[in-house]
Structure 1
């Protein structure tokens, strides 16, 4: 058997799938590619059952413990000389190893600091390069997120911000120098992670993922230590069709939850007349908590909860 189980090696059974062989020294994560095939082919499937040949001994106990602790399965039970594993949709889609391509934000010990009279955790350094990669079968393209490189991305960001369509909501038309200075500031800000969204390596959008506790939105709701927020603009209107929009919106939310398992909520504060943005967040499980006034806009406070996203909507 290969180091990783392929979908073709699984035999359908009346209540799931089975493997005819399983190496005794195989790690639980070697099941993930096959689970990915199952869950991605059947978007509405809520659970997968796998049966493996496994003797009942100490090695089995170690395997079960690892499989559950590493987030590969939810339950495991012996049935004669086999091991029956079950994995839920919510558990599978919270498995970071398939899509995160950079270290997550969860590795640092929790330490607190005070900045601008706000107490919040010290944030992990932002990774460089590509941080998330996922093939989107609904559009037949690979969606990626990479950290902004000011030298590489300023011209693109400058062109996007000077589009009338983008300026209607961002109100940030300006010179290349102004836009370069803005990106430099965001890259240096520990609470903001600026990202470029691409389909098949073609840039089409700019995303600002931020920690809500130290952001301007924090005074308007009870912000958790690891809540995250999102600002975005789509610079290439070819990627605003319903299918592509759902794919990339799902992708950015998925990344934000995967990057730190302590993140229980994602928040947005779009202008209240940005109805399309708000509607798409609602389609992906969000709700509008309230409307409120920033100095520069009337905003809707939109919240996506982790449990709702992975359990009912999500990837």
Structure 2
């Protein structure tokens, strides 16, 4: 299927909270002992300069320490968000009407800050990142533990399932296949760096056919339709077992 990613950037945003904090997690509290067992990696070896402690969550094998990837569009790297450095840019992207229609985070910078802060202050089950292509920030990604997310209430989750939310920030990078290329790249980064993860998942809005098409072009399969609190979504899955076939 020919894939266009004109709306890939807008259709895979997070499910908004339906009440104060209740949809942020599965209400699973992880003990410090368990967290320490899951911690791996050393931010000092991150390929992009990141502040100590900001290389991403231990629960996700530290995305900030993952090596850059060569893609047909150029060298790509995930860089964990620094809220002071990146807030203005991310808020600007969130106020793009095409993005705001799905992410629902338009408004002053405080809106974007309030969305980022729980992830940055949390236990690492969701890591917000800039997507840097050829040295230029051009996309926003959330790499998250789908099995520890409210999404797991709506599909048969497996341990270490890893989810993706994304938006393409620059209009010039939309509709040219870049989103499809980067979806495959980031899914491969997850599978290469998270050996316990057998599947990468996403839940674009079912109405966003360009986004669904982009996921298909990136090697994801259409698994099911799921009713989430704010949308009917297409559950897209990239399986480790079939990554070389799709």
TM-score, normalisation: structure 2:
0.73
Question: In structure 2, the residue corresponding to 1:245 is in which secondary structure?
Answer: helix
Which residue, 116, 122, 131 being the options, matches 1:183? Answer: 116
- Pair 1:150-2:61 in alignment: no
Provide the residue aligned with 2:22 in structure 1.
Answer: none
- Aligned equivalents of 2:138, 2:80: Cα separation in 1: 14
> Given that residues 28 and 148 in structure 2 are in contact (C-alpha distance below 8 angstroms), is that contact kept between their aligned partners in structure 1?
no
Alignment of 1:1-315 (within 5 A): 116=27, 122=35, 123-124=38-39, 125-126=57-58, 127=62, 129=64, 131-136=66-71, 138-139=72-73, 141-189=74-122, 190-309=124-243, 311-313=244-246
- Aligned equivalents of 1:221, 1:213: Cα separation in 2: 10
> Given that residues 63 and 78 in structure 2 are in contact (C-alpha distance below 8 angstroms), is that contact kept between their aligned partners in structure 1?
no
- Cα deviation, 1:79-103, whole Å, max 9, x if unaligned, reads xxxxxxxxxxxxxxxxxxxxxxxxx
Which of 183-192 and 196-205 deviates more? 183-192
> Given that residues 130 and 147 in structure 1 are in contact (C-alpha distance below 8 angstroms), is that contact kept between their aligned partners in structure 2?
no
Question: In structure 1, the residue corresponding to 2:167 is in which secondary structure?
Answer: strand
Name which structure has the greater RCO, CA cutoff 8 Å, separation 6+.
Answer: 2
Aligned length: 197
Residues 254 and 288 of structure 1: CA distance in aligned 2, closer, same or farther (over 3 Å): same
**5+ long unaligned stretches in structure 2:** 1-24, 40-56
Residues 180 and 117 of structure 1: CA distance in aligned 2, closer, same or farther (over 3 Å): closer
TM-score, normalisation: structure 1:
0.58
> Given that residues 79 and 131 in structure 2 are in contact (C-alpha distance below 8 angstroms), is that contact kept between their aligned partners in structure 1?
yes
- Cα deviation, 1:18-56, whole Å, max 9, x if unaligned, reads xxxxxxxxxxxxxxxxxxxxxxxxxxxxxxxxxxxxxxx
Residues 307 and 197 of structure 1: CA distance in aligned 2, closer, same or farther (over 3 Å): same
- Cα deviation, 1:100-151, whole Å, max 9, x if unaligned, reads xxxxxxxxxxxxxx96258997453454856330222x33x21111111111
Question: In structure 1, the residue corresponding to 2:131 is in which secondary structure?
Answer: strand
**5+ long unaligned stretches in structure 1:** 1-113
- Aligned equivalents of 1:145, 1:255: Cα separation in 2: 9
Larger CA Rg, structure 1 vs 2: 1
Residues 268 and 145 of structure 1: CA distance in aligned 2, closer, same or farther (over 3 Å): same
RMSD of equivalent CA atoms: 2.3
Residues 250 and 307 of structure 1: CA distance in aligned 2, closer, same or farther (over 3 Å): same
Provide the residue aligned with 2:43 in structure 1.
Answer: none
Question: In structure 1, the residue corresponding to 2:150 is in which secondary structure?
Answer: coil
**Offset of 1:201 from its aligned partner?**
1.3
Provide the residue aligned with 2:48 in structure 1.
Answer: none
Higher strand residue share? 1
